[in-house]
Amino acid sequence: MLDIRPCAQGITFAVKVVPRAARDRLVGVEGGVLKVRLTAPPVEGAANRALVKLLAKALGVARSRVEIVGGARSRNKRVRVAGLSAGELRARLGA
């Protein structure tokens, strides 16, 4: 089960990114962390931009509501989604 924490602006959760994959996709939850594969390389923020775009599309929210709040230069990141509850996140991810 995904470890989701409420915050003042919405919710935060952990994401593990695997860059340079064959295609962009949400793999699933592993150890309370959402695992994501991205085609983008981890160079000059390309993977971070791809992650925000993928999560926004998967969750049905604007990209401006998805923000990387921790681990911008790491494969292990903390993401905040504004205006979304834990229940809504789980429902939209199908988890």
Q: Where are the domains positioned within the chain? A: 4-93
Nearest alpha carbon to residue 78 among 8, 11, 9: 11
Residue 57 has pLDDT above 90, yes or no: yes
Give me the pLDDT at residue 95, please.
52
* Whole-number pLDDT of residue 80: 98
CATH number belonging to the domain at 4-93, selected among 3.30.300.30, 3.40.190.10, 1.10.8.60, 3.30.1200.10 = 3.30.1200.10
Residue 46 has pLDDT above 70, yes or no: yes
pLDDT at residue 1 above 80? yes
Q: Helix, strand or coil for residue 50?
A: helix
Tell me the whole-structure pTM to 2 decimals: 0.94
Distance in angstroms (rounded) separating the CA atoms of residues 43 and 21: 14
pLDDT at 90 over 70: yes
Q: Cβ(39)–Cβ(22) under 8 Å?
A: yes
| Res 19 pLDDT > 80 | yes
